[in-house]
C-alpha cells in the first residue's frame, strides 16, 4: 500500500495561537529603501505647496507631524524629530520634551476631529521591529473604532478608507496650525 505524504496544515495545533498569513507584506521584508530616496522626515523650511505635497501638518523647531501616505486608518499620523536619529536614547532632553508635547497635542486633535473609540500610539525601532524608515525614528498615531477591521485586507489585500488623503489633510491641517503655539 502506498504511503501518503502528510499535507502541511494551515490549522494551528491545539492550544497554539491562530496564524494570519499576510503574504503581501513580504515585499517589505529585508528590502533596503530605493537608492536616492531621501528621508521623508528630513527637510528644511518648506512652503505651503510643499507641505501639502509632503502631507506635513506642522513642522516645529525640533519635531514635526505629518500624515502617513500609506495609512492603516484615516487620520494615521507620524510624529518625528526634525533631527535624523534612529532611536530615542539619541534624542536630547529638549527634543524628547517637544516630541512628547507634539504626540499629546496630536492625540488631542485626532480625538476632536474623528472621535475615535481609541488610538494606537507607538514606534517601531529598527527594520526587524517593523520600521519602514528605520534610520529616522518616528511615532505612529492611528485612530481606531470598534469594528474598523474587516475581511478586506485579508481576502482582497485592500484597506477600505472612507476618506482620501486630501480630505484628511484638509480636515486636520487647520487644527495643527497652532500646535507649536499652544505648547507653552
Q: Does domain 41-176 match CATH 3.40.50.1100?
A: no
Provide mean pLDDT across the span 63-89: 94
Domain ranges of the chain: 41-176
Length reported for the chain: 184
Higher pLDDT, 51 or 35: 51
Confidence of residue 36 (pLDDT cuts 50, 70, 90): very low
Marked catalytic residue, from 76, 84, 136, 138: 138
Can 138 be counted among the known catalytic residues?
A: yes
pTM metric for this prediction: 0.75
Q: Cβ(108)–Cβ(158) under 8 Å?
A: no
pLDDT at 156: 58
Per-residue cell: 28: 517589505
Amino acid at each position: 500500500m502506498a504511503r501518503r505524504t502528510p499535507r502541511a496544515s494551515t490549522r494551528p495545533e491545539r492550544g497554539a495561537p491562530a496564524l494570519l498569513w499576510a503574504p503581501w507584506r513580504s515585499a517589505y521584508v529585508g528590502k533596503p529603501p530605493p537608492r536616492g530616496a531621501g528621508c521623508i522626515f528630513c527637510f528644511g523650511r518648506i512652503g505651503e505647496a510643499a507641505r501639502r505635497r509632503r502631507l506635513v501638518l506642522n513642522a516645529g523647531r525640533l519635531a514635526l507631524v505629518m500624515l502617513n501616505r500609506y495609512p492603516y486608518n484615516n487620520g494615521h499620523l507620524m510624529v518625528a524629530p526634525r533631527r535624523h536619529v534612529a532611536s530615542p536614547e539619541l534624542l536630547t532632553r529638549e527634543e524628547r520634551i517637544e516630541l512628547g508635547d507634539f504626540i499629546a497635542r496630536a492625540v488631542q486633535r485626532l480625538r476632536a476631529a474623528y472621535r475615535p473609540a481609541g488610538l494606537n500610539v507607538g514606534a517601531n525601532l529598527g527594520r526587524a521591529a517593523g520600521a519602514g524608515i528605520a534610520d529616522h525614528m518616528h511615532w505612529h498615531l492611528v485612530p481606531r473604532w470598534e469594528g474598523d477591521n474587516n475581511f478586506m485586507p485579508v481576502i482582497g489585500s485592500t484597506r477600505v478608507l472612507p476618506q482620501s488623503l486630501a480630505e484628511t489633510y484638509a480636515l486636520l491641517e487647520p487644527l495643527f496650525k497652532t500646535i507649536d503655539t499652544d505648547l507653552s
